[in-house]
Amino acid sequence: MRHRVYGKKLGRNGSERKGLKLSLTRALLENGRIHTTRAKADFVRAHVEKLITLAKRSTSGDAAGVVHAQRLAASRLNNDRELVHKLFAEIAPRFENRPGGYTRILRVAPRHGDSADMVLLELTEREEATA
């Protein structure tokens, strides 16, 4: 029974899951969209949304709060300075008026071979562009 058991194992041990989360998060933030399985998209989606919320909330704070948020984001992104700068300078301002839901999952055709559910996980666009 899986009562109250949090998270997915994805057939990996803890360090492999951590590496998978880091690589999928980096790919999504760098490219804006990734093509992956449904289970992996669900696994990484919450992590990416929390990072964007952290970056978005820090922009209105004082200088010490911004530095603290950047250090937290850097620790979660393996200290990649370029990616942290992109998160705070380009991605977070795109969602300044959006209360949440920064990513979207679109279904695509199943994978050949094992028929796994494949999806396209992407960052949503600006509200002005879609309206």
pTM, 2 dp: 0.88
Strand ranges (E), 1-131? 33-37, 103-107, 118-123
Tens-of-pLDDT digits for all 131 residues of the chain? 889 888 889 999 999 999 999 999 999 999 999 999 999 999 999 999 999 999 998 877 788 989 999 999 999 999 999 999 999 999 999 998 999 999 999 999 999 999 999 999 999 985 544 44
In one letter, which amino acid is 117? D
Q: What is the pLDDT of residue 131?
A: 46
d(CA 23, CA 83): 12
CB 41 within 8 Å of CB 123: no
- Which domains, ranges and CATH numbers included, belong to the chain? 15-130 (3.90.1030.10)
Distance from C-alpha of 39 to C-alpha of 51, rounded to nearest angstrom: 20
pLDDT score, position 126: 59
**Torsions phi, psi for 122 (to 5 deg):** -140, 160
Q: What is the pLDDT at residue 92?
A: 93
